[in-house]
Structure 1
Amino acid sequence: MIEVKQVSKRFGTITAVEDVSFRVEAGEVYGLLGENGAGKTTTMRMMATILQPTEGDIEISGFSVQKEPVEVRRRIGILFGGDVGLYNRLTARENIAYFGSLYGLEQRRLQERIDSLSQMLEMDSFIDRRVGAFSRGMKQKVAIARTLVHDPDVILLDEPTTGLDVTAANIFRRMVGKLQDEGKTILFSSHNMGEINKLCKRIALIHKGRLQFAGGLDTLRERFGIADLDDIFMAVVEGSEA
């Protein structure tokens, strides 16, 4: 479970996130929707205890990011957009194993997890190759596996399909469904309305750091009288700037 409670984040005189609240239930795939620069990544960095809220608090599985950051870190897996941060001289397996070892996984369990994730993400053909020559999509698969290797209860995915082709994106969506079947709580950040529509039933919509909506997609469509999520998003943006 994730509960965001009236969270704000300021950097000097700049307010990146202001008074945002929403709740993700255990076992739910929840969408965090907004354009680039809306405050999605800042919000997720606060969830991951990388940034500290200026005001408010966030609870992950009942633990406060402000008061119990170590407990929060033990329970989450996080994938941020942008540079995947892999070690080019190591193989995909070695990259994943390195991060798994940081979480204290014993060797046998670690290799079982790597083999399982390799199969799930269809990485077997390159799992033992050095990542330096990988395509962006191949690196993204390794980064996703690294995020999941310690089998976290709560998974934070910031623009996870960046660099993935259509086939790989479909593999990713099947993986999300499998993780949900296992009872994982997943927060999925994107500005791709099609992905949100396929993966999520409930969302939080952020624009310029402010929460515009939190709830079910059906409720969102009813509120605006529009079926298409792209059109709804543009209505929200234009309405907030009117």
Structure 2
Amino acid sequence: MSGQNKSSRIDDWLLGKIYRAAGQPSVRLRFRNSAEVSPKDTLPVANIVIPDRKTLLRLLLDPEAEFGDAYSKGRITLEGDLVSALEILYRSMSEVEHHRWYVKLVSKCMEYVQRNSLRGSRRNIQRHYDLNTDFYRLWLGPQLVYTCAYFPSPGATLEQAQVAKLDYVCRKVQLHPGERVVDAGCGWGALALHMAKNYGVTVRAFNISREQILVARGRAKELGLSHRVE
């Protein structure tokens, strides 16, 4: 067997393993121009082109994480509708994940390592939230709200939608001036400050992230709300 034929058989085997690991979705996987695998009973929604064996091997080890990383760095090309392909891949991989013993084992190990005990919760929070706040401002906007926004109209901006969400929450809990509110896990203080400023309540906010508490206190001082938000 020539070296080229042996290499081609390896490529075919790797593609097949990746395709099965992804749950055999309705997409065509293609490695360079030498190997491909596609669904048997339906037309593929998209073609996913993998240019090198390094990416191929990484996809085999962790298809879910590597696909997004490789696509964002241009190491994978997708021909066709991206949204439809992602929906199909997500559904297909989700169905397969439940049946893999090693996925369950890794999941259990990660649950143990990252368990939310008193000490573990503080460690997890520090790793995730105690980063430079400027990083979060790049994609969360000036309100620094981590949860989903509420768009009252199609033309609303993200900033307007975040304020609308804060106001929606306040109306839902029927706040009245003079009431006292506890905000557990207050983040950077957006909701606490909104409640105090617009609904006349006093808020006691809690958080175990040092960075977020410092930012929240600074924002309260800037807005003249330090006496209403603790």
TM-score class, shorter-chain normalisation, is under 0.3
Length-normalised TM-score, structure 2: 0.27
Select the structure of larger CA radius of gyration.
Answer: 2
Higher helix share: 2
TM value normalised by structure 1: 0.26
